[in-house]
Amino acid sequence: MKFNLTDLLSNDRMNKKISTDVSINEFKFGGITYRTADLVHIDLEITNLGYKEIKVEGSVKGTLKIPCDRCMEEVDYKVETNFSKDIKFDDDNEEKVQYIDGYNLDLEKLALNELIIDLPMKVLCSDTCKGICNQCGTNLNKGTCNCDNSEIDPRLAVFKDLFKEF
């Protein structure tokens, strides 16, 4: 969704508020694909600061589905961030290139950037998650297996890392 800034840019000190939902189904970051549980809500206040500069302030709220670090089951992870950015229009600076297309503010890109900034290092489905059996791949929260996991064979530790890739 794009918000046209032409009107705002032609009136110094003009201010606009936007409250809307944007659709970001999934995105990739650091080799991992993240999916959203629902639409992402964005509240914005855009102010023309004059001298070809605007201030974009607001918040982004959404829920991501992130695989548990131990068992890979998807966990709902709520994101709520506040941000404030000044974007200059007089040159091709980084923020302008990232969020502005012509004289349109790209709300999806803005929301996506906030989701990425707020990504956790890792998520657990529960503090007591038992994870996946290193040998047979059974989700140990859901069942048991007959493997002897008392000692991890270094050759099998490779598989443990492989499971994390998926």
Q: How far is the CB of 79 from Zn ion (least distance, A)?
A: 19
**Among residues 44, 48, 60, 70, the one that binds Zn ion under rule CB under 5 A:** 70
CA distance 34 to 48: 34
Q: Would you give the DSSP letter of residue 39?
A: P
Nearest approach in angstroms of CB 40 to Zn ion is: 25
Residue type, 97: V
Contact status, residue 105 vs residue 2, Cβ threshold 8 Å? yes
Instruction: Report the residue from 87, 110, 115, 125 that binds Zn ion according to the rule CB under 5 A.
Output: 125
* Pick 117 or 152: Cβ nearer Zn ion: 152
End-to-end CA distance of the chain: 31
What tokens appear for 152 in the block? 């991890």
Query: Which among 18-26, 49-57, 107-115, 143-151 is the span making contact with Zn ion, rule CB under 5 A?
Result: 143-151
Binding Zn ion by CB under 5 A: which of 68, 87, 100, 132? 68
